[in-house]
Structure 1
């Protein structure tokens, strides 16, 4: 069996299941940094933030060959009334196992069986990226407006000038329109970025009818990721009207959260926000940008595609105690679930913002997506 570099490998002999605070961090971080499929969510900083902000316990399953790390899997247990569920990882679209060979994945599954047994858990939800979609598949799914969830990923050129030139005239004019409307934008690397981001984000989540992450979650992320967490800010004069958070892992980046104030959307702050972040990342050496999860029938899918993003399958699975794997396709909820969600969202929108911001984090910490 050959690894991703073409070298011959043998079955990893040593599997460890450790709390994230006990793992050999330098080995883990170096493995993630060198792996072609690693995301910013694989960084140990994500686990640190989950434990610090919300108190959910996190583990790392690792496989070793002697002193060399050959496979890793970050895991979190969301503590809930009546028990807890295991997921890799909560509050994001992707994480899952990283390994050099198929034997490495088998070793990780053995470690997961041990962890499930120790915790008395019934399954581990694994969120991983699936195979590339061919042009014919994409065209058919777009035509059907499929509710299948995909990750929208764009590849970035060598400079922001080439990136801007690659856009269609309509997109370029929308970016310029935002600037002509008096909006300005910048990328902040310091902690003050969270101060600017959070009020816009919290207001937008209440408008969407969704419980908001607590401020402590973003403070914990900033502490854990440090300068690998960037905040894009859009202002009209001195008022922040749009903001987004980007996490950087090597030459890849992702945007887990972005929000604008609805009363200013006619000025196109979202267009300037994304352009400012994308141009900054491109000139900083990033070559891949993950716009996050969408389904083919959503407006967000079309919004992301205009920036050059293409759909990549999401392969979500459930790993069982007996070693079997069940497919758990990432799709939109069914009709009944949608109706229930719509009713909850309507009630949440009617809640005073201060109350929503106080209650939201108490609920949000238990919602895995």
Structure 2
């Protein structure tokens, strides 16, 4: 039996994610509240109950409506990963087919499912496959020196340089500093920033699974990143640097210090997140010696006639991007959340 999850299902949902080899931080039930309360997107969390009354599969979904970007059902907006996880192929397929039915009932343009590995059976069932992003994951060594030596030679030299720049590092839950730096960084890239409420909700919901590492010089914060900790993995997720960060090498310092801090917390894996293939961020992560692994998005078209193209390289968004880069920071912080919640 497949049904919509309620708030009362949080404990069994999270237990299933914890015990499933493919269960990720992005599958945790807490995103249901975080995304809904920060963006208004309606959750449709599907869970499968077997004949013994036990949960044997789940699929988190959100309905996203936008005049500019269309109407979609997605697993999961704001997250790198999503898609169904289950105890059997049959249950996984049943959840995906139920998602297709729900997409039809809701009258969306398309259903989008995000997976870390290729799902050939979805293509056989009529889904359209798209792989334009990669993620970067590497093992963490046990101590600071070995972590430094594990970094590719050229990038290691940059990190060594940063260690001579009298930079200081703090790890706390400092949302104000993070938001100032992050919103400045994404404004400079021409990207709308998320609401500050999102970051506050993440801390409130996930507590010690989230922290903020900030790098400063002469008591001025230059770089900051919010990271997620789950199972044995650390995932730097929302981060950026001010203009002065480039000369101080504080972004490089930040990620190295995060690796060291995470190793001390007992993490074994460093998930450097997703980047669009061949983008600047993709090339930067590659300099650390971390091999890219493809991410796969699968689309079931309902009302749409073709795949959505929300890429910043889409010519129809170029004027918006160029204009956005020129906005005063405060204006971008006010307007940004109204747009960013539809393009995550």
Normalised by the length of structure 1, the TM-score is: 0.82
**Could you say if the C-alpha distance between residues 92 and 350 of structure 1 is closer, same or farther in structure 2, counting changes exceeding 3 Å?**
same
Q: Answer yes or no: is 1:281 the counterpart of 2:262.
A: yes
Q: 1:25, CA displacement in angstroms?
A: 1.1
**Could you say if the C-alpha distance between residues 119 and 340 of structure 1 is closer, same or farther in structure 2, counting changes exceeding 3 Å?**
closer
Q: Answer yes or no: is 1:155 the counterpart of 2:139.
A: yes
Q: Answer yes or no: is 1:60 the counterpart of 2:49.
A: no
Q: Does the residue aligned with 1:286 lie in a helix, a strand or coil?
A: coil
Which position in structure 2 is the counterpart of 1:126? 113
Q: Is the 8 A contact 2:61 2:73 kept in 1?
A: yes
Deviations 1:207-265 (A, max 9, x none): 11111111111111111111111211011122111001111221123222210001331
Which position in structure 1 is the counterpart of 2:332? 356
Match of 1:187 among 168, 171, 177: 171
Deviations 1:100-124 (A, max 9, x none): 2111112212431442244233431
- Structure 1 segment 211-250 matched on structure 2, within 5 A: 211-250=192-231
Q: 1:272, CA displacement in angstroms?
A: 0.8
**Could you say if the C-alpha distance between residues 32 and 328 of structure 1 is closer, same or farther in structure 2, counting changes exceeding 3 Å?**
farther
Match of 1:75 among 41, 54, 61: 61
Q: Is the 8 A contact 1:178 1:267 kept in 2?
A: yes
- Structure 1 segment 201-212 matched on structure 2, within 5 A: 201-212=182-193
Q: Answer yes or no: is 1:107 the counterpart of 2:94.
A: yes
Q: 1:332, CA displacement in angstroms?
A: 9.0
> Considering only aligned residues, what root-mean-square deviation do their CA atoms show, in Å?
2.7
**Could you say if the C-alpha distance between residues 179 and 31 of structure 1 is closer, same or farther in structure 2, counting changes exceeding 3 Å?**
same
Which position in structure 1 is the counterpart of 2:124? none
In structure 1, runs of 5+ residues without a counterpart are 1-13, 133-146
Match of 2:293 among 312, 316, 340: 312
Distance in 2 between residues matched to 1:161 and 1:351, nearest whole Å:
42
Deviations 1:18-74 (A, max 9, x none): 3xx435111110111112222211111222111111121112111122232111110
Q: Is the 8 A contact 1:315 1:328 kept in 2?
A: no
**Could you say if the C-alpha distance between residues 131 and 107 of structure 1 is closer, same or farther in structure 2, counting changes exceeding 3 Å?**
closer
Q: Does the residue aligned with 1:262 lie in a helix, a strand or coil?
A: coil
Distance in 2 between residues matched to 1:23 and 1:128, nearest whole Å:
27
Distance in 1 between residues matched to 2:33 and 2:312, nearest whole Å:
34
Deviations 1:133-164 (A, max 9, x none): xxxxxxxxxxxxxx942112112233444322
Which position in structure 1 is the counterpart of 2:127? none
Which position in structure 2 is the counterpart of 1:178? 162
Q: 1:296, CA displacement in angstroms?
A: 4.2
Distance in 1 between residues matched to 2:34 and 2:74, nearest whole Å:
15
Distance in 2 between residues matched to 1:209 and 1:159, nearest whole Å:
38
Normalised by the length of structure 2, the TM-score is: 0.87
Q: Does the residue aligned with 1:180 lie in a helix, a strand or coil?
A: coil
Distance in 2 between residues matched to 1:292 and 1:168, nearest whole Å:
18
Match of 2:317 among 341, 346, 358: 341
Q: Is the 8 A contact 1:316 1:328 kept in 2?
A: no
Q: Is the 8 A contact 2:211 2:227 kept in 1?
A: yes
Q: Is the 8 A contact 1:53 1:216 kept in 2?
A: yes
Match of 1:33 among 9, 18, 32: 18
